[in-house]
Amino acid sequence: MDLTPALRVAHTSELTESERGRIRELLDTAFEGNFAEEDWEHSLGGIHALVCDADGGPIAHGSLVQRRVLHADRSYRVGYVEAVAVRADRRREGLGHRVMAALEHIVDTAYDFGALSASDAGAPLYAARGWQVW
C-alpha cells in the first residue's frame, strides 16, 4: 500500500472556500505569522500544487501566478512561484520538492522562465533544485 499523499494541481477557481481557508491557515502557521494579506493575494489567481493529509488538511502548498517582466525593451511571461510552505511536522519528507516539481513543469511548458523570492529558510530548497540568484 502506497502511503505517499497525493499531489493535486488546481487553479484558484477550482479550490473551495474551505480549501482556500485551510491553505491560508497552513501558510500563516508555516510562516509563523509573517504571511501578510498582501502575500496571500499574490498567491491567488494561478495554479496551486497541494499535498493534503488523509483528512484533507493541507501539508504542503505552492502556487504559480503569471507576471510580466520587462527587460531590454522586451516583455516576458514569467511563472512566479508564491506561497511555498510545508507543515512543520511534515518537513524533510520531500513534499516541498514534489510541490516545486509540479510548478516547475508548468513553468517549463507555459512560460518564458520562472522566478521567485526566497526566504532564508526556503533558499536551500530552491538551490537544490537548480534555481539561481538573478
What residue numbers bound the domain in which 120 lies?
Answer: 7-128
Our count of domains for the chain comes to 1
CA pair distance 25, 15, nearest whole angstrom: 15
Closest CA to 67 of 51, 81, 57: 81
In sequence order, what DSSP letters do the residues of 84-109 get, joined into one string?
A: EEE-GGGTTSSHHHHHHHHHHHHHHH
Q: Please tell me the predicted confidence (pLDDT) of residue 133.
A: 84
Domain CATH number, residue 96:
3.40.630.30
Whether residue 134 is contained in a domain is answered as: no
Whether residue 1 is contained in a domain is answered as: no
Reported residue count of the chain is: 134
**Each residue's pLDDT expressed in tens, for the chain with a length of 134 residues:** 456 789 999 999 999 999 999 999 999 999 998 999 999 999 999 999 999 998 889 999 999 999 999 999 999 999 999 999 999 999 999 999 999 999 999 999 999 999 999 988 889 999 999 999 87
Q: Which positions ≥6 away from 124 have C-beta within 8 Å? A: none
**Cell matching residue 117:** 523570492
Whether residue 81 is contained in a domain is answered as: yes
Whether residue 61 is contained in a domain is answered as: yes
Whether residue 87 is contained in a domain is answered as: yes
Q: Please tell me the predicted confidence (pLDDT) of residue 32.
A: 92
